[in-house]
Every structure is written in C-alpha cells, then in structure tokens.
Structure 1
Amino acid sequence: MTAIYDCSVDSELLTGMRLARGAIGRGELVVIPTDTVYGVAADAFDAKAVTRLLEAKGRDRTSPPPVLIPGTPTLDALASEVPPAVRELVDRFWPGGLTVILHAQPSLQWDLGETGGSVALRMPANPIALELLAETGPLAVSSANRSGEPSATTAADAARMLGDSVRVYLDGGPAGGSYEAVGEREGDTSSTIVDATALAHDGGRLRIVRAGVISRERIAAVVGEELLEPEVVEPAAEREPAASDDEAGTPAS
C-alpha cells in the first residue's frame, strides 16, 4: 500500500526513510524531494527497478534516467574521467541544480537504457535526498511525473500522477522555491544539464543541453565562455515548457 510520509514530523521521517530504504532494496520505486522538483527513484544498479521507473513515467529505454549521487567521490567512481572544467563546475555548483553528462565507467554493472556509454550525474541540495543517497548509494532518479505532465513540486502532485506505481512518498514540502528567482525561463526549477563528453577530445567544448536553474552566464564565469559551445536561441514558439522536462535530465531529453 502506498503511503505519503511528512518528513517535517520526526516520527514520520524515521518511518518513511526506513521504508524507503527497504523499498529501494527490493527494487521498488520511491518518490523523494530534491532542491529542484520531486523525483521518482530506483536503485541505479537494478535493471528491473529502472525499467519500472521508466514504465511508471510512460517512457522507454531511449530516455535513460539520470543518476543522483551523494558526493564527488561517487562522481569519480561512476565517470571514466572527470575533466578539470567539470571538477571546477561541481566544486562551484554541487550540491545544487547542475547535471553533468560524462562517459560512464565501462566496468559498471548497470543498465539505465540506451545511454551510448554516458551517464548524467547530479548531487542534489536536499538533506532528505542526500541522507537516502548516503544509505542506498546512487539512485536512478527522474522527475516524479508522467511523461508530458508538469513536473511535481509537491509529494501530492507526484502521488496524483504516479499513484500505486510508487511504494513510498517522502514529503519534504514544496520543492524548487529557492531557485525561482534564478531560473533561465519563468517558473523554471529544473536542473541545468551540461554535456561534457566532448571534452575527452582535443578542442571539445561543453554543451548546455537544457537551460535551467544555473544560468549560462554563471557557468561561463567558472569555465570561460570559450569553453562553451555557442548558444543556439530557439524561437519562443518552439520552446517546450521547462516544467515538462525531467528533473535531472537525460542525454536523450
């Protein structure tokens, strides 16, 4: 039976976290708060659990979920190489609303979908998410909504869209409020996704594949404008609402 646990109440926090750990261990899904929006989480190393996550969202293997991690040591364990520019960015913006796409360690025993050998990684700035990650290890986490629906900013929103496909809902209050003033588009509380895979080659640049709460200007201030691919400005009529995007992003988004 699905339940929502109010993490502002100590007894519910303890119970909810215990049940969430157990659910992740059994390959079930859990909804967690993050600093951007709510995410639906599964054990990143359990292929069946990742499949359940994609099915709950109404997506397929061409949209692999990103992976949330508890800190930079896990970044080094999961990525085959962390270029200096990426290290500068995560030192500045983690924990926070920046997702980086890197080449994954080829020895990893996981199946996130059709990733092309890459992985999207983020350390969220939310104590509930970080506590769970510290106990479970890396989690495949996508925005807690059905594909095409607005991203959930409350546990109730997530429960309305995902229902009994999720075993435990951890309610950490409204998500994303601290970013509302800095999003690149009105109401944008999704993480900014930066593809750093090209840095493995001479002359490669960082590519911002989704604008979000960390602006291009703030990224350029860290790594220099010359290391960023030129910005492509889409006509306003062709832009999709940021709220419909995945929370932490995927290479296929």
Structure 2
Amino acid sequence: MNQTTHRLALDDPQALDEAVRVLAAGDLVAVPTETVYGLCGDATNGRAVAGIFDAKGRPSFNPLICHVASLAMAQRLAVFSPEALILAERFWPGPLTLVLPVRAGAGLHPLVVAGLPTVALRMPRGPLPEIAGRMDRPIAAPSANRSGRVSPTTAEHVLRTLDGRIALVLDGGPTAHGLESTIVGFDADGPVLLRPGPVVAADLSEVLGRAVGERKEGSALSAPGQLSSHYAPHGTVRLDAERPLSGECWIGFGPDPAEITDAAAATNLSPRGDLREAAAHLFAALSRFDGPDFPRIAVAPIPREGLGVAINDRLKRAAAAR
C-alpha cells in the first residue's frame, strides 16, 4: 500500500468533516482517543476493515474494537447483560472496552469479530463518538501502529510506521492516558478482566459490588491485545532491572540508580514514582528506543498494583520472545 498520508490538526475547522469523508469512502484515518491513537475504518465496510489488517500487518484472528457514538448504538450491535449495562453507564465515555455477544443483524463485517460470537465495544473520549455519530455506524479502531509495535501516543508515532499506508492523521497532540483501554468480558461466572488498563479492577469491583475474575493464562484469544508478543520495540527488553548494563538503554521509574551513567541513553517514566504519570509516558518511552540504534533496553521494576498491573502487562508483552 502506498498513498499520501495527510495530517490535519484536530482543532482545524475542517478536520472532522475530512475524517468523515475519508471514512465514508472506505479509507483509513488515525484519530486520537484518551488512551492511544486509533486506526479507524468503517466497521461495516469490508474494504475498510481489510485495509486496517493490511496497514497494520495484523493477524486475521485478532479481533478489532468497535467504537460507538452512544450506548444506544452499542445496544444495536451487542446484547448487554445487566452488569455490562452498569459498567457502560458508569465508565462511558472512557477507557473501558466491553466484550459482549454480537447481536444478530448487527451489520458488522465478519473480519471485525475474527470469527468469534462476541464483539468488543467502546465509547471513548475525544472526536471518535462524534465521527461515528455523523456516519451513524461503528468505527473499527485498533491502535494506529504496525502490529506488535509500540502503540502510538502522538501523531508522530503514527506516522513512524503508517506513513503512506493510511489517508489521514488527525493530530490532537499527546494522548491523556497513554495506555490502551481496560477490556472486560463475561463468562458463566460473571465479569472477567481480559486486559488491564486505566480502569483498574478495584474500580470495576466497586461499581459491580463483587470481585472481577481474571483471564486464564493460555486461554484462547477472546479480545484484542492478548497476543503474547505485542507493543515490541526493535531491540530486546529486560524487565525488573535494578540498573542498566553497559550499552543498554534505560527506562526508569522512581529515583534512578547511580549507574545510569553506564546507559547508552535514558528516560524515566516517573521520577517521583507516580503510576498514572508512568502509564502516560510508557509508549512514548518505548517508541523513543524503537530502532536499530537501540538493540538492548533495560526497564526498572514497576509496582504490580493499580495501574502498575496494566503497565507490567504491556512490558511483559514488549519483552516476549518474537
């Protein structure tokens, strides 16, 4: 695929009109949400959905998240249980994706659900709900990067791997959370956390009045973002490092060790040890060291609590064997 990728500031008066025009023609647009930039296509248009997989180099068995304009639109696409409805009403718009039984006649292209009987739905903050509302159809939108690479939190990150592969990028500056949405599914026992994210398990349990289950390691793919190797920069990643070895790049958290001077290059997710700040900076840090000049990356330990669960999940996938 080789085309000219145009870039428009999100506050340009023509930005949303142009995005709707491009999407209605079956082409692709990168749009910022509060989590990361999404690679958007009409979820009912086979050419657009196939274009997403082609642009990303994404395995066809990995389903896509559909973004909606409203709860009413979501209910036309999926069957909501009472608990799913509670979560949607509490956390939408926001960084929560719900995996629900797809409704008969939903009109989604089969590639969106990747052969599963469920569909992943989200109503994000940002321009996507308005775009979906103007089109009166859901927007399929995985992260706007080549599959398995670092998720994009700026328009520059999008263009690094997708320039020439998509028609348009709406530049809204850095995203707020910098970490993809929490994903919750439902089984016979109730809600299950399929992917940790900005809405943490304690938030979900408080709203539902009961504990949320966890996905069993090694179970079949049921939602986006569950591949073992994902979010990977070019070089190898060493986790829970107390200090950088000579020649390694360093991604710190909290006070840096004295040996940081041995690092080839260094950044810190949050010198004060704030997990929210670290989550917002994670993909930008991985993206900074995503290239052949940075063959080895060491990452400081991140507490495995609250948002740290989601951060460690992404780091584990970044470090997985490829």
Is the counterpart of residue 229 in structure 1 residue 303 in structure 2? Answer: no
Paired with 1:239 and 1:86, the residues of 2 have a C-alpha distance of 24
- TM value normalised by structure 2: 0.64
Task: After TM superposition, give the deviation of residue 129 of structure 1 in Å.
Answer: 1.9
Which of residues 75, 87, 99 in structure 2 aligns to 1:89? 87
For 1:21-76, what per-residue CA distance to the aligned partner results, in whole angstroms no more than 9, with x for missing partners?
11111110000010100000000000121011011111122012110001100111
Aligned to 2:179: 189
For 1:127-164, what per-residue CA distance to the aligned partner results, in whole angstroms no more than 9, with x for missing partners?
x2222121122100000111121100011110111111
Stretch deviating more after TM superposition (58-67 or 96-105) = 58-67
Stretch deviating more after TM superposition (112-121 or 30-39) = 112-121
Identity of aligned residues (%): 30
Q: 1:131 to 1:230 in 2, by over 3 A?
A: closer
Larger Rg: 2
* Structure 2 runs not aligned, ≥5 long: 219-238, 241-311
Aligned to 2:22: 23
Q: 1:17 to 1:240 in 2, by over 3 A?
A: closer
Aligned to 2:261: none
Compute the RMSD of aligned alpha carbons: 2.3
Q: 1:43 to 1:231 in 2, by over 3 A?
A: closer
Is the counterpart of residue 4 in structure 1 residue 7 in structure 2? Answer: yes
Count of aligned pairs between the two proteins: 221
1:106 and 1:117 in contact (8 A); partners too: no
Structure with more contact order per residue of length (Cα contacts < 8 Å, sep ≥ 6): 1
Q: 1:157 to 1:105 in 2, by over 3 A?
A: same
- TM value normalised by structure 1: 0.81
Which has more helix, going by share of residues?
1
Runs of 4+ aligned residues of structure 1 deviating over 4 Å after TM superposition are 230-234, 236-240
Task: After TM superposition, give the deviation of residue 233 of structure 1 in Å.
Answer: 9.2
Paired with 2:316 and 2:66, the residues of 1 have a C-alpha distance of 20
